């Protein structure tokens, strides 16, 4: 039947449930709606590709609507878990945004659930968070985060560890090596973030460093923490608070 190839292709990428995706596919590929696809020929999908900024989907694509951002996140996670994409968008820094979620009048409709069988095994429902995601902030030993359940699905947290950068907080010099409060606050913040993610939450670490989660009893002190991983942290406490509040407001 003419056109069957189009539906099959879009179904593979979980785009066929929205007529606007189908119309867009014909449009961007300059195809007649009665045309069939040719074997070996490359076609464009009704998907926009963005370079994920590592902060949030909304700031990546300049989007105000939180609900739509969640749907975009769920779509990217679902196609990764189903094997359509080989790497998670947080790791590859490549974000897929389906046409229907931004451009169609019915864009608020839920992405369809799908119990698609792959390799003879029944896959989890489309929206269910399951499997493993990678977050390099946790360090090599803890970077792979196994999703345990969906208890915190659609919940968003902003985790801010105290002090950091030029301010080490309280320091102890009576030990073998100096102990700095900010290092332990940051380590606890990382562990909290990881635990929240394991239960399906979206979590933003406001203060970031490259130390990762550490299991040593004494943690080395440093001053290289940054706000959102790039901005230098001011020494003045009021300026630090304003900087962190501004970062959260931008994400929110």
pLDDT 10s digits, 164-215: 999 999 999 988 889 999 999 999 999 999 999 998 888 999 999 999 999 9
For 235, residues 6+ apart whose C-beta sits below 8 A from its C-beta are 165, 166, 167
In the chain, the number of structural domains is: 2
Bridge partners (DSSP) of residue 205 are 159
Rounded-to-integer distance, Cα 190 and Cα 136, Å: 11
Q: Residue 211 in contact with residue 138, Cβ under 8 Å?
A: no
Tell me whether residue 15 is exposed, middle or buried, using C-beta atoms within 10 angstroms of its C-beta: 0 to 12, 13 to 18, 19 or more: buried
For 202, residues 6+ apart whose C-beta sits below 8 A from its C-beta are 70, 73, 154, 155, 156, 157
pLDDT of residue 17: 83
* For the chain, percent of residues with pLDDT exceeding 70: 88
The phi, psi pair for 208, rounded to 5°, reads: -130, 150
* For the chain, percent of residues with pLDDT exceeding 90: 59
Out of 107, 128, 149, a domain closes at 128
Q: Are residues 6 and 102 in the same domain?
A: yes
Out of 128, 148, 174, a domain closes at 128
Rounded-to-integer distance, Cα 60 and Cα 248, Å: 15
Mean pLDDT of 44-66: 92
Q: Are residues 146 and 187 in the same domain?
A: yes
**Pair type for strands 202-205 and 156-159:** parallel
Mean pLDDT of 213-221: 93
Rounded-to-integer distance, Cα 209 and Cα 234, Å: 15
Please spell the DSSP secondary structure of 104-144, one letter per residue: STTTTSPPPP---EETTEEPPPTT---EEEE-GGG-TTT-E
Mean pLDDT of 15-30: 90
Is the pLDDT at 116 greater than 70, yes or no?
no
pLDDT of residue 153: 80
Q: Are residues 4 and 28 in the same domain?
A: yes
pLDDT of residue 80: 92
Q: Are residues 4 and 97 in the same domain?
A: yes
Query: How many Å from the N-terminal Cα to the C-terminal Cα in the chain?
Result: 48
What range does the domain containing 62 cover? 1-34+43-128
**Run of H or E residues at 240:** helix 237-251
Q: Are residues 122 and 158 in the same domain?
A: no
Q: Are residues 145 and 124 in the same domain?
A: no
What value does the mean pLDDT of the chain take? 85
Q: Are residues 89 and 151 in the same domain?
A: no
Rounded-to-integer distance, Cα 188 and Cα 147, Å: 19
Q: Are residues 119 and 155 in the same domain?
A: no
Q: Each residue of 4-21: pLDDT tens digit?
A: 478 888 988 999 888 899
């Amino acid at each position: 039947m003419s056109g069957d190839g189009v539906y099959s292709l879009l179904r593979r990428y979980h785009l066929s449930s929205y007529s606007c995706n189908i119309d867009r596919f014909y449009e961007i590929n300059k195809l007649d709606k009665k045309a069939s696809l040719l074997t070996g020929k490359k076609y464009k999908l009704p998907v926009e590709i963005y370079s994920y900024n590592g902060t949030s989907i909304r700031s990546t694509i300049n989007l105000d609507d939180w609900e739509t951002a969640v749907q975009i996140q769920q779509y990217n996670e679902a196609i990764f878990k189903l094997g359509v994409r080989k790497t998670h968008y947080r790791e590859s820094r490549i974000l897929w945004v389906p046409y229907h979620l931004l451009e169609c009048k019915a864009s608020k409709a839920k992405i369809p659930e799908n119990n698609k069988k792959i390799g003879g095994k029944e896959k989890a429902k489309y929206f269910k968070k399951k499997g493993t995601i990678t977050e390099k902030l946790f360090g090599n030993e803890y970077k792979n985060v196994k999703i345990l359940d969906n208890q915190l699905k659609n919940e968003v947290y902003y985790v801010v560890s105290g002090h950091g950068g030029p301010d080490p907080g309280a320091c102890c010099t009576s030990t073998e090596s100096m102990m700095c409060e900010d290092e332990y606050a940051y380590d606890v913040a990382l562990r909290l973030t990881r635990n929240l993610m394991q239960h399906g939450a979206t979590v933003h670490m406001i203060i970031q460093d490259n130390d990762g989660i550490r299991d040593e009893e004494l943690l080395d002190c440093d001053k290289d923490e940054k706000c959102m991983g790039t901005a230098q942290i001011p020494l003045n406490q009021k300026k630090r608070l304003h900087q962190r509040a501004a970062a959260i407001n931008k994400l929110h």
